[in-house]
Structure 1
Amino acid sequence: MIVTGGSRGIGAATARLGAKAGYAVVVNYAANREAADAVVAEIERAGGQAVAVRADVGVEAEVAALFEAADRLGRLAVLVNNAGIVDAVAPVAGMSAERLTRIFAVNVVGSFLCAREAVKRMSTKRGGAGGAIVNLSSAAAKLGAGGSRVDYAATKGAIDTFTVGLAKEVAEEGISVTAVRPGIIETDIHASGGEPGRVAEIAASLPLRRAGTPEEVARAILFLASNEASYSTGAILDVSGARAILP
């Protein structure tokens, strides 16, 4: 199993749960080697197998190197396209081309590139044994994030469309493609976008009166990657505590 952005939050929770399920896990990270190593060490202490691999998924050559490193662990069974970034709150009128290029490179192009490499390895038409790709969307894809981060929401809307299209494309190749659409989750992605207190500020206004946990999202990811979801290819599962259906 490859988990992009696996050193923190939802990615780290997925890596830990994946290892518990018996996968050898590639914990991908872009910059924080210490955090990735901590996830690997935790998995190994529990008797699992994991390795940390640095790669910026927005850079094609680094994606290729990531998958080559994963090849050394054996057959790739699952790709979790979790890596994603946000920027500071801003209206569309205040967004630079540099900002837009970077966020689409990581959140959209990176998911395409990783899926491309996974399909090459998993496809039964290419000699593979099949597999599962699980993409990370967001409730923002449905809500739009107007007035704060329309660019981020747009990247996740692209992931929704990508999930459905790729699922149809590789359905006869033994590969399932699904997505999870989290809502407000207790991770540090909010801090990286300049809002460290966002979860606490809005938790009481959410339908369940609380934010979700990374583990709750990870359990949904592992379900979609498993044979228990064998007829669910193309599905996008909301894990948003009803947030994604609010007007």
Structure 2
Amino acid sequence: MDQRGLNEVTDLQPTGVIVVTGGSRGIGAATCRLAHATGYQVVFSYNSNADAAATVVADCDGAAIAVQADVRHEADAANLFDAAEEAFGPATVLVNNAGILHEQVRFDEMSVDRWREVFDVNVIGSFICAREAVRRMSTRHGGAGGVIVNVSSAASYLGSPGEYIDYAATKAAIDTMTLGLGKEVATEGIRVNAVRPGVIYTDIHASGGEPGRVDRVAGGVPMKRGGQAEEVADAILWLASDASSYITATTLNVSGGR
């Protein structure tokens, strides 16, 4: 666990304690940076790229904690929340962002192992972290309430044919979890919402085998451009804030109208 910056003093008044999974790159990193600028105490997980995590910590003026964690494992998820509480106090916001996809292939060429891995990270990992947050935030369990923001994808309703139907299916599961959990804990001080990013300029497209995918499909977006990770982070932080205090069990498209 990276403990740098715990004793740093900033001019910002703490907004709360935000836990971001997969915070070392893309939308997760943009969320960490914006959360820090907004006044949150930031704790984020990363899987293996310690250098990328250190860069995000530095971008947060050293006043953030990076915790190596595999969200598929219950012990790692618990450790992430424990680290946040030990450093700053109980988490007030969880951003379930960690996710993976594999190379673009047809459905009939996909293996069972591929489906299991994508579901393990994207769905089971998000479930484990959300459950950990509920157990700590819910007034039913003695908590003070909080917010969960899940990162879904426009793939959940577009289906990603010929590319990664498995990834799309995981994001549809996230949409359903958001709806059900948001209703279940609505009287327990927890709001649960999700964002569905469209085609966003992040390096996840390289994982799918097409780094330039955003430029290829941008013409099909009504706004005729790809989105930036910071635009998604803006939506996430709005859903985390009191400005959306009467919104729960809802998914917000951040997709340029696509």
Q: TM-score range by the shorter chain?
A: over 0.9
Rounded Cα–Cα distance in structure 2 between residues aligned with 1:22 and 1:130: 19
Q: Is residue 204 of structure 2 the alignment partner of residue 189 of structure 1?
A: yes
Rounded Cα–Cα distance in structure 1 between residues aligned with 2:155 and 2:127: 20
Rounded Cα–Cα distance in structure 1 between residues aligned with 2:168 and 2:216: 20
Q: What is residue 107 of structure 2 aligned with on the other side?
A: 92
Structure with bigger helix share is: 1
Rounded Cα–Cα distance in structure 2 between residues aligned with 1:27 and 1:195: 27
Q: CA deviation at 1:200?
A: 2.0
Q: Contact between 1:164 and 1:235, CA under 8 Å: does it hold in 2?
A: yes
Q: CA deviation at 1:205?
A: 3.2
Q: CA deviation at 1:174?
A: 0.1
Q: Contact between 2:81 and 2:91, CA under 8 Å: does it hold in 1?
A: no
Rounded Cα–Cα distance in structure 2 between residues aligned with 1:238 and 1:148: 21
Q: What is residue 28 of structure 2 aligned with on the other side?
A: 11
Q: Is residue 64 of structure 2 the alignment partner of residue 61 of structure 1?
A: no
Question: Which consecutive aligned stretches of 4+ in structure 1 deviate over 6 angstroms post-superposition?
Answer: none
Structure 2 residue corresponding to 1:130, chosen from 145, 162, 173: 145
Structure 1 gap segments, 5+ residues each: none
Q: Is residue 41 of structure 2 the alignment partner of residue 24 of structure 1?
A: yes
Counterparts of residues 91-170 of structure 1 (less than 5 Å): 91-170=106-185
Rounded Cα–Cα distance in structure 2 between residues aligned with 1:56 and 1:95: 24
- State the secondary structure of the residue aligned to 1:231: coil
Q: Is residue 43 of structure 2 the alignment partner of residue 50 of structure 1?
A: no
How many residue pairs match? The answer is 240
One-letter code aligned to 2:130? A
One-letter code aligned to 1:219? D
Q: CA deviation at 1:203?
A: 2.1
Structure 2 gap segments, 5+ residues each: 1-17
- State the secondary structure of the residue aligned to 1:84: coil
Rounded Cα–Cα distance in structure 2 between residues aligned with 1:71 and 1:106: 24
So what's the TM-score if we normalise by structure 1?
A: 0.95
So what's the TM-score if we normalise by structure 2?
A: 0.91
- State the secondary structure of the residue aligned to 2:70: coil
Q: Identity across aligned pairs (percent)?
A: 60
Q: CA deviation at 1:206?
A: 2.1
Bigger mean CA deviation after superposition, 219-228 or 62-71:
62-71
- CA RMSD across the alignment: 1.0
Bigger mean CA deviation after superposition, 175-184 or 143-152:
143-152
One-letter code aligned to 1:110? G
